[in-house]
Chain A
Amino acid sequence: MADTTICSEIAGTVWKVFVEVGDAVEADVPLLLLESMKMEIPVVSSDPGVVVEIFVAVGDSVAQGSPVLSIRC
């Protein structure tokens, strides 16, 4: 069991968060949506796991490369 931190690939704003801490998530399913330049960019986990921590909330600005949530795989 290792915690994987998922980082934002873009600079943008958190538009929607689909998961809560403790949720079991599948691979390649959007966990949250970022918005940048009027585009919705989904954040996905490449592996299934459980959400351990969410570092952002709707409306937050995120920088490219900054952590958005962590998953225990």
Chain B
Amino acid sequence: MPKIRRVFVANRGEIAVRIIRACRDLGIQTVQAYSEADANSLPVRLADEAVCVGVAASKHSYLNHAALIGAAKASGADAIHPGYGFLSENADFAELCEAAELVYIGAQSSVIRLMGDKAAARRLAAETGVPISHGSEDPLDNPERAAEIANRIGYPILVKAAAGGGGRGMRIVTTAADLRDSVERASMEAAAAFGSGAVYIEKYLHPVRHVEVQVLGDGKRVVHLGERDCTIQRRHQKLVEESPSSALTPGLRRRITESAVALASRVGYRSAGTIEYIVDEARQEFFFIEMNTRIQVEHPVTEMLTGLDLVALQIRIAAGEPLPFEQSQIRFTGHAIECRINAEDPERGFLPQPGTLTEYSAPSGPGVRVDSHAFPGYSLPPQYDSLIAKLIVLGTDREEARARMQRALREFHIVGVPTTVKFHQRLMAEPDFVTGNVHTRYLKDTMWAGHPAQKML
């Protein structure tokens, strides 16, 4: 493996800034890809060089394989970091990078492909001894088979797109009468959105928590970096992440992290990855959902607890270095919480709203970290996601972390677009959140109970 000297950043926003920072810490140069909508963005200003790769629409810029690889080669980069979203879990793109002799900073293309097929990943998890919820082993080929499985495991069930993931392409079915129609619709939607109409069935469990385990591998050895609790969601999208999870007893934590290491080891995992589970707190059981073969939005939560730089480690591993530590050398100190500050209006069901940040001032102080690409005068383009900033705090325990989050949220000053700041302030003070009495539908069923926008969550 060659040493990496110049990294091409094939992403945008805060994660592009994050990658540039890691590179600079390692003495590596950066080339930032950008679309016409991002010409004045922070990563473009921060990188050593920036190259326009296309128009605003992602399809023609951040998702354009040929334009990105062409620009990377022309700029003299020797490696590509895909960030999250966009092409970060696209096996074809990873293969094209390798073929173009660009080091792909991420998992092996074969592993990305395997885990991208959610039904195949589920099967592999089961073979590895990782608990999976009841459901179909293979993608469904006909509605009769779907009915048979659904009747066996009992309603409600989830119909999921095999090529989906991250909460996209999934439907809850509560009665047998709706099954045929739901499977057909889910399949059609999956075909339109992901290019494959394959769907499978899982038992729908409720109430549950969403817990994920961070793993790191060098292709030979895998360690885990603890869990993150991502239970607070709207529309199956995360809003708050924290670690450690109050849903895990020490015994359950040991079992869930061991299962994550077993699954990642089974595929000889290289780079940073995340294995997602649902946790039935009452029964102290956990079930595999999917593996994300990329850096995760909420990775700073783990960085705060461990003092490690996950993006720098991804780069060093991609350059051929072995994992620089043993499992027993990893220390977890304190409690970390992340709040996603999005340009969304919680009062209107978290509808996103692009616009210009006429005023922007981020908090700081002890135990506070802000990962953001925002600045006063920055315009959030309508073509990309609504994330303005990730606010992460570390405390010696959960109460200190929660108090610090309250303090930091109070200092966060954003004018020009609606944001989730006030919502997070309210959430941090909710008695149920304080005691950890939450589940994945907590926002919709409890906090937004009776609210006109409840149905939208």
Chain A residues with a Cβ under 8 A of chain B:
9-13, 16, 28, 36-39, 41
Contact = CB atoms under 8 A, between A and B. Distances in A.
Contacts of A41: 351-352
B455 interface: yes
B353 to A, nearest CB: 7
A10 B85 CA distance: 23
B259 to A, nearest CB: 31
Interface of B: 85, 192, 235, 343, 348, 351-354, 380, 382-386, 455
Contacts of A28: 455
A38 B385 contact: yes
B385 A11 contact: no
Given A11-B353, A11-B354, A16-B192, A37 B385 contact: yes
Contacts, number: 37
B385 A36 contact: no
Contact of B353 (A10, A13, A16): A10
Contacts of A10: 351-353
Name the residue in A9, A16, A36, A38 with the highest tally of chain B Cβ atoms < 10 Å from its Cβ: A38
A10 B353 CA distance: 7
A46 B354 CA distance: 26
Given A36-B352, A36-B354, A37-B354, A11 B455 contact: no
A9 B351 contact: yes
B366 to A, nearest CB: 33
Given A10-B352, A36-B352, A41-B352, 7 more contacts: A9-B351, A10-B351, A10-B353, A37-B385, A37-B386, A39-B352, A39-B386
Nearest to B348: A9
A38 B354 contact: no
A56 to B, nearest CB: 16
Name the residue in A11, A36, A37, A39 with the highest tally of chain B Cβ atoms < 10 Å from its Cβ: A37
Nearest to B85: A38
A37 B382 contact: yes
Closest 8 CB pairs of A and B: A37-B352, A37-B386, A38-B385, A36-B352, A10-B351, A39-B352, A37-B385, A36-B382
A16 B386 CA distance: 21
Contact of A11 (B85, B192, B235, B382): B382
A37 B158 CA distance: 26
A12 B192 contact: no
Contacts of A12: 382
Contacts of B380: 37
Contacts of B351: 9-10, 36, 41
B182 to A, nearest CB: 13
A13 B343 CA distance: 17
Contacts of A37: 343, 352-354, 380, 382-386
A38 B384 contact: yes
